């Protein structure tokens, strides 16, 4: 049983250089026939779908870059001075020293309650 396809119809499967051109000419002829008999909406839908498939990833790529630049901040820990990245408007801990921090005006600040006094303890012998 022999199956006919658009591409390689030669018995050895090698095909010729015009098989791809024949496929696209046949496809173009089918779309032209559909538009001539009143099925232009089908052809237009196909072209709109192709347009959306090419445009949406580009818009998504630039939109994601804009969102990341707007919602991520890189700064130094006020306690240990190690630099790291965190999300804006969130509370987190420094990965180096474990100090609880939050973001304020593109800088990291400590989350200490008002009136807290930091002291360093030194043992004297």
Q: What are the residue boundaries of the structural domains of the chain, listed by start?
A: 19-68, 72-110
**pLDDT for the residue numbered 67:** 92
Q: In the predicted model, what is the mean pLDDT of residues 28-47?
A: 80
Q: What does the alpha-carbon distance between residue 74 and residue 80 come to, in Å, rounded to a whole number?
A: 15
**Is the model's pLDDT at 6 over the cut of 70?**
no
**Is the model's pLDDT at 50 over the cut of 70?**
yes
Of all helices (H) and strands (E), which one includes residue 25? helix 19-36
Q: In the predicted model, what is the mean pLDDT of residues 26-49?
A: 82
Q: Which long-range contacts (CB under 8 A, 24 or more apart) does 38-43 make?
A: none
Helix/strand/coil percentages in the chain, nearest 5: 40, 20, 40
Give percent of the chain with pLDDT exceeding 70.
84
């Amino acid at each position: 049983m022999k199956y006919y396809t658009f591409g390689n119809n030669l018995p050895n499967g090698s095909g010729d250089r015009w098989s791809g051109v024949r496929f696209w000419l046949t496809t173009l002829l089918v779309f032209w026939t559909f538009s001539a008999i009143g099925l232009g909406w089908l052809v237009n839908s196909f072209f709109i779908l192709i347009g959306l498939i090419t445009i949406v990833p580009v818009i998504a790529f630039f939109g994601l870059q804009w969102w990341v630049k707007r919602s991520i901040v890189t700064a130094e820990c006020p306690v240990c001075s190690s630099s790291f990245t965190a999300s804006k408007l969130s509370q987190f801990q420094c990965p180096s020293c474990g100090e609880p921090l939050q973001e304020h005006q593109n800088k990291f600040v400590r989350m200490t309650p008002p009136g807290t006094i930091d002291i360093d303890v030194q043992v004297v012998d």
